[in-house]
Structure 1
Amino acid sequence: MEYQAQYITPDIKLSCYDDKFFKSEIAFEHHMLIWFISGETKIVQPDGTRIFRAGDIFLIPRNQLATIINYPKDGLPHKTVVMHLTTERLKRFYDNIHFKPAAAPQPRIMSFEEHPLLKSCLASLIPYFEMKDPFPEDIASLKITEAITILRSIDKKIDAVLGNFEEPGKIDLLGFMEKNYMFNMPMEKFGYLTGRSLTTFKRDFKKIFQTTPQKWLTQKRLELAHFQLSQKKVKPMDVCYEVGFENLSHFSFAFKKQFGYAPTALQEQR
């Protein structure tokens, strides 16, 4: 995979690659504002799958679980401008304005399509990626502040997302895992998102599910894969990545071991 990430500051980067696709599971530490220059991205979440294409602008809230699959398209690389809206910077921003914290809504990816103000703000960063001199921090700060200000003018409810600095508290483990098992996260991350240390996460998991997290996750992912292959017109490769496996060969081996036949057999049967 030919991948390049060019940073003008730690919080602003130009991401570009031109291989067939690139997949990652995410639960970002900070909010991420993304503008698509070219390419296509499929974002898989428990409540559905969304497709973003060239020109789209969207915000991924922090600690949001998702599988992201990026593709080059129409002969052009997958290319995006990414701006990190860090907790530290947002705290400074909200310290300077009159703001009453509201109840945080259920986190969700927020789409702004091709909003002209956001597009202008993010497109204005492109010339800075071509500079040889360091990008001045004061300009970077102004650009990020501009983006936050525009977001607040577009969506009056966004303060409840950007201005919420709480860390995940201890939540219902059974409900969380049943909803998010298809995301291939380290156990430490599952523990953090459910408000537990790794040791407590494993202990609570064993008490509830009577098995280890890894065995349970593999079983659930295979069951979901079997359903999608038998009931929907989905290719084994797409199913493999969307249910949480890292590569097709491992998925095929585990699937055949579990069900006695290869994933392609269901395709042929259907």
Structure 2
Amino acid sequence: MEHVSNYLTPEIKLSCYQDKFFKSEIVFDQHMLVWFISGETRIVQAEATHLFGSGDIFLIPRNKPATIINFPKDGLPHKTVVMLLTTDVLRKYYQQFSVTTNITAVPKIRSFRNHPLLESCLVSLIPYFEMKDRFPPQLASLKLTEAISILRTIDPEVDSVLANFDDPHKVDLIGFMEKNYMFNMPMEKFGYLTGRSLSTFKRDFKKAFNTTPQKWLTQKRLELAHYQIAEQKLKPLDACYETGFENLSHFSFAFKKHFGYAPTSIASQKHHWHTDLRLTRG
């Protein structure tokens, strides 16, 4: 996989994927503001699946599990400008304001397609990626401040996301796991996002589900994949990547072991079922 990241600063980069696609399950530790130059991204979250392409600008909130699938498109690589709106940067920014916000329990991706103010801010960074000289830190600070100020101007509710510096609170374990089991994260991250240490997470999980997290996660992901292939007509490869499996061979092996047949056989099975049903009705 050919991936190049050109950093102006640790918070500002130009990211480029040249290969067919790149997939990752991820929980961002910081908010990310992304402007698409070319290519396409599918972001799968518990509540919805988002598709972004050239010209799109969106904000991905921190501590939100997601499956990210990046594609080239129209012969062009997957290319984006990314700003990390870190907790340190945001704390410093919000010190000058007295902000009262309604904290959003489950922040969602916020989309700002082709917004002229945001686009001009992010487009203005492009020439700097060609410079050989070091990008001035004070200019980076100004650019980050400009982006945050524009976000607050065009989205009055964005403070509920950006000005929330709390770590995840202890949440209902069953509800959280039922919504987020398709994301392939370390157990430590599941624990953190539910407000628990790893040992407390495992203990509470055993009490809630009467099994280990890994066994439960594998079964839930396989059941979801079966539904996606059989009912939603997804290709096995797409179902594999959208349900938290790392590669197709591992997914196919686990699927056949659990259900007794390969994921590729579902389409032909459904055809036989429909044929048998017509014959019975006839």
Q: CA deviation at 1:104?
A: 2.8
Aligned mates of 1:148, 1:195 — CA distance in 2: 28
TM-score by length of 2: 0.94
> How far apart are residue 10 of structure 1 and its match?
0.2
Task: State the secondary structure of the residue aligned to 1:182.
Answer: coil
Q: Residues of 1 paired with 2:5 and 2:91: CA distance? A: 27
TM-score for the superposition, normalised by structure 1: 0.98
Partner of 1:253: 253
Check whether the contact 1:173–1:205 (CA below 8 A) recurs between aligned residues: yes
**2:48 is aligned with what amino acid?**
G
Task: Give the equivalent residue in structure 2 for 1:64.
Answer: 64
| Two-structure CA RMSD over aligned residues (Å) | 0.9
Report the AA paired with residue 229 of structure 1.
I
Structure 2 unaligned regions, length at least 5:
271-282
Percent identity of the aligned residues?
70
Structure 1 residue 103, shift from structure 2 partner: 3.0
Secondary structure of residue in 2 paired with 1:52: strand
Is contact 1:34–1:81 with CA below 8 Å preserved after alignment?
A: yes
Amino acid at match of 1:145: T
C-alpha distance in structure 2 between counterparts of 1:257 and 1:18, whole Å? 35
1:115 alignment counterpart: 115
Once the two structures are superposed, the pairs formed by residues 156-167 of structure 1 within 5 Å of their partners are 156-167=156-167
CA distance in 1, matches of 2:129, 2:111: 25
Q: Report the Cα distance in structure 2 between the residues aligned to 1:3 and 1:227, rounded to whole angstroms.
A: 33
**Number of residue equivalences:** 270
Answer whether contact 1:105 1:160 (CA < 8 A) is retained. Answer: no
Deviates most, 248-257 or 127-136: 127-136
Whole-angstrom CA distance in 2 between matches of 1:181 and 1:216: 9
Match of 1:154 in 2: 154
Q: 1:209 & 1:3 partners in 2: Cα distance?
A: 40
1:113-262 aligned within 5 A = 113-262=113-262
Tell me the distance in 1 between the aligned counterparts of 2:177 and 2:98: 38
Residues 10-38 of structure 1 show CA distances to partners (whole Å, capped at 9, x for unaligned) of 00011001111101112111100000000
What is the one-letter code of the residue matched to 1:230?
Answer: A
> 1:66-113: CA deviations, max 9, x gaps?
111010000000000000000111011110123223333531000001
Q: Deviations over 1:138-184 (max 9, x none)?
A: 00000000000000000011111111111101111011001100000
Tell me the SS of whatever aligns to 1:33: strand
The one-letter code of the counterpart of 1:72 is P
Q: Secondary structure at the match of 2:268?
A: helix
- 2: distance between equivalents of 1:267 and 1:73? 28
- Please give the alpha-carbon distance, in whole angstroms, between the structure 1 residues aligned to 2:259 and 2:103: 45
The aligned residue for residue 280 of structure 2 is none
Q: Which stretches in structure 1 are left out of the alignment for 5+ residues? A: none
Q: Could you tell me how far apart the structure 1 residues matched to 2:204 and 2:106 are? A: 24
